[in-house]
Structures are given as C-alpha cells and as structure tokens.
Amino acid sequence: MNSVFDFDPRLLQAAKEAEAAAAEQFAAIDAVSQHASAKVLRAFQLNQVSAACFAGANGYGYDDVGRDKLDRVWADVFHTEDALVRHQFVSGTHALSTALFGVLRTGDKMVSVTGAPYDTLEEVIGIRGKGNGSLADFGISYAQCDLTGDGTPDYDAIPHAVKCARVVYLQRSRGYSLRPALSVADIAQIVKTVRAVNTDAIIMVDNCYGEFVDYDEPTDAGADLIIGSLIKNPGGGIAQTGGYIAGKAWLVEQCAYRLTCVGMGKEVGCSLNQCREMYLGLFMAPEVVANARKTGAFAASLFGMLGYECLPDPSRAAGDIITVLKLREPKAMEAFCAGIQAGSPVDSYVTPEAWDMPGYESKVIMAAGTFTGGASIELSADGPMREPYAVYLQGGLTYGSGKLGVLTAAQFMCNAGLLTL
C-alpha cells in the first residue's frame, strides 16, 4: 500500500497485526453474509424477478409491477406478511415517523423500552419542540423505560411500563450512545417479556443499521413491524434514496395510508426509474454489509491495540454495523474525521467541520465522502461534539477501501501528534 499511500511503516505493521487478530471475526461475518445472500437470492427466484421489473412507472403508479414485486421480495427476505418499499421515503426517520403516525391514534400510548430514542425522533414524538404536529400534539402520550447501568434493557421494569402501551418501540442500533446494539436474541427476549403482559401491543423495531448483521431479523423474533433506510444496509450502496416498512399486512396497510392517503395506500406512488437500483441494492446488501462490518472490526482491532476503548465487544453478538471509537478529546475527533474524509473516494479534498445539523441537539461532525449523500452504508464517521468525544464509524462498500480509510484516519491523528505508534 505504501507504493500508493504514504503511511508510516509502524502503522502498517500495527494494521497487519490488527487484521490477524480480527481473523476469527471476519470468518463469522462471512458466514452470516452467505446465509443472508441465500435468503435474498431465493426470494428473487421465488418471485420471478425479471428485467420487466426494472422499467418502473410514472403518473399515479397504478399496477406498477416492479414496485409491487419488490414489496413481495422484501417480505420474503424478512419473513413478513407484507412490505412497503418506496423511494418516496426521504430518510429512515421519515419511514419511522410514517409508521408511528400510521398505527397510533389519539389517546394511544407509545413506550420506548430502549431508553431515549435517536435525536431526530425527539421532535416527531414531541419530547422536544411543541406545536409542530408531533405525536404529542395529536394527543398521543409517550413514556420510556430506561436502560440499566450497563446499557441493556431493564427486563424487570418493562412489564409495568408496557401494560397500557399501544406501541412498544425498540431502537436496535445504539444511536449516539455507548449502549450495546440489540441482537436478535435481545429482541426476542423483549418480545417475550412484552407479550407476557400485553398481547395487543404493536412491537415496532427501528432496524436501521441492523439488517443482515445476524442470521435472523427482528420479525423472526416476533416483532410486528420493522423500519429502515435504503441508504443504509439494505440498499447495498446502490439505492439512491428511500426506506421500507415491513411486517403484518394490516399494519403495513395503515402505514401506506399515512405515506400516501387513506383508501389508496400502496396502490399509488410510481417507482419512476428507481426499481433497478433498489433491486440491485438489496441483492448486493449482504456482501456490502459484511464489508462494512469487517471495516469496523479492523478499526476496533487497530485502535484497541493503540490504547483506545472501542465498542462493541467482539465477544458480543452483533446488533448493527456501527463501531464506536472513544477518542477522548475534540481534536482527536476532528483529526479522525478529517482522515476518513481524506480516505474517501468522493470529496476527499474537503475537511469536515462540526455544525448544527437539523434534528440534532448538539453540533455534529460528519465525514462522508459518499457516492450517495448521507449514505451510512458507505464509509463514514460522525459524532456529536460532546462527552465522551466518541466517533461512530460505519459503512465501507468494499473492505479494501474501508481499511484504507481507517488507516488514513489513524495517520492524520499521528500527523497531528494525537496518536503515538
């Protein structure tokens, strides 16, 4: 690599050792990827996907063959009754908001059993900001069951918290926190705990960053709805935009009514020229997710050897693609993110700066030299400029490029005198 990139030889030696130490993790990641690839391929075959599915439609989108068959493929992959996969979802938060407004009614109660939700959902729920059309403005109440001291679900407190809940909400990924991401086994235990006291609750999982990191998905564990973004895991770095909602058919229909309008739901909303990218992205997703996970495992192995605390613990079952590096100071965050940006294929010449991103409470620094704006399945690193000054690394379309990005970030920290080899 030094024939192309000018890395410190000591850093390359450390990288070689880190990669060797992560070999067992890489093998486990590949096994999950192969299993997921089989599920996806089988769903394509069973639904007889053809070139005609890629043509798309315009106007109202009645009888959009590509759109409707993609929903069926998605439902088969995630073992659900139905799915709503649309480029009209502008983000994961939009898909989550659509699902919440789709199934909740005035007088209902939403309970988060994984502590505080991700920053961008606070205004949707009404925790922050008033009078803007939040769930709270429509008379929907909210409560949360905080996590235990070690960041895991409080199984003793959950039964009392969810007794009167209409929606029990789980956030699979850690968000901007240090708690562990939920594995499918964790989700299964939460589902069992909830069902023991409330058989009618709608169990909804924010599945962002979690698709294809485990052999099963939350719907295999009993979740009623899962929601995510196509510019994260399941879009495979190819889908240009969009999101999905998958689960029980009647709930997906309610969400479709919210996305379009009551009475029309999934029957309208043309796919334009987006079908091919969404099909191809889903087909590539298991391998791309594996590359992202390997990039994260390599980063944790390398920076762990260099004296930094990294999460998650390699011995813990995976819950998402995110690797947290606790860099301890703002300057280290800035140097790391500058390195990730410099090691990217797009906009490598710019330097990221912290700014007030819409929907976030603290200033956020974000490195994302991506082909699709904001695509978290592509190599990126970001974090709020607040204690404990941690960066959240995710993505990597290929392991080779992801590894180079991580090495560039480490080299930038060395050059700034913030890391000693």
- Residues 252-281 have pLDDT tens digits of 999 999 999 999 999 999 999 999 999 999
Q: Are residues 204 and 184 in the same domain?
A: yes
- What pLDDT shows up at residue 2? 66
1 falls within a domain: no
Q: Are residues 72 and 168 in the same domain?
A: yes
Report which DSSP code applies to 387.
T
Provide the residue range defining the domain that includes 240: 55-278
Which CATH number goes with the domain that contains 238? 3.40.640.10
Q: Which among 371, 333, 109, 47 is positioned nearest to 235, based on CA atoms?
A: 371
Q: Are residues 110 and 256 in the same domain?
A: yes
Q: Are residues 186 and 110 in the same domain?
A: yes
Q: Are residues 24 and 73 in the same domain?
A: no
User: Which positions ≥6 away from 158 have C-beta within 8 Å?
Assistant: 113, 145, 190, 193, 194
Q: Which among 368, 369, 342, 350 is positioned nearest to 5, based on CA atoms?
A: 342
109 falls within a domain: yes
Q: Are residues 334 and 271 in the same domain?
A: no
Q: Are residues 73 and 103 in the same domain?
A: yes
DSSP string, 104-156: --TT-EEEESSSSPPGGGHHHHTSS-SSSS-TGGGT-EEEE----TTSS--TT
- What pLDDT shows up at residue 315? 79
| The model's pTM | 0.96
47 falls within a domain: no
Query: Containing H/E element for 394?
Result: strand 390-394
- What pLDDT shows up at residue 176? 84
Which of the listed residues 254, 278, 302 is the one where a domain comes to its end? 278
265 falls within a domain: yes
313 falls within a domain: yes
Q: Are residues 229 and 200 in the same domain?
A: yes
Structurally, how many domains does the chain consist of? 2
Q: Are residues 123 and 268 in the same domain?
A: yes
- What pLDDT shows up at residue 170? 98
Q: List, in sequence order, every residue forming a beta bridge with 309; answer none if it has no partner.
A: 326
- What pLDDT shows up at residue 316? 81
Q: Are residues 22 and 124 in the same domain?
A: no
Which of the listed residues 225, 258, 278 is the one where a domain comes to its end? 278
- Other CB atoms within 10 A of residue 361 CB: 13
Q: Are residues 222 and 370 in the same domain?
A: no
- CB distance 401 to 294 below 8 Å: no
83 falls within a domain: yes
- Residues 290-336 have pLDDT tens digits of 999 999 999 999 999 999 999 998 878 789 999 999 999 999 999 99
- What pLDDT shows up at residue 150? 92
Ranges of the chain whose pLDDT falls below 70: 1-3, 359
- What pLDDT shows up at residue 130? 78
120 falls within a domain: yes
Q: Are residues 213 and 116 in the same domain?
A: yes
Given CA atoms 117, 118, 122, 127 in this order, what sign does their dihedral have? positive
Which of the listed residues 278, 294, 315 is the one where a domain comes to its end? 278
385 falls within a domain: yes
Which CATH number goes with the domain that contains 348? 3.90.1150.60
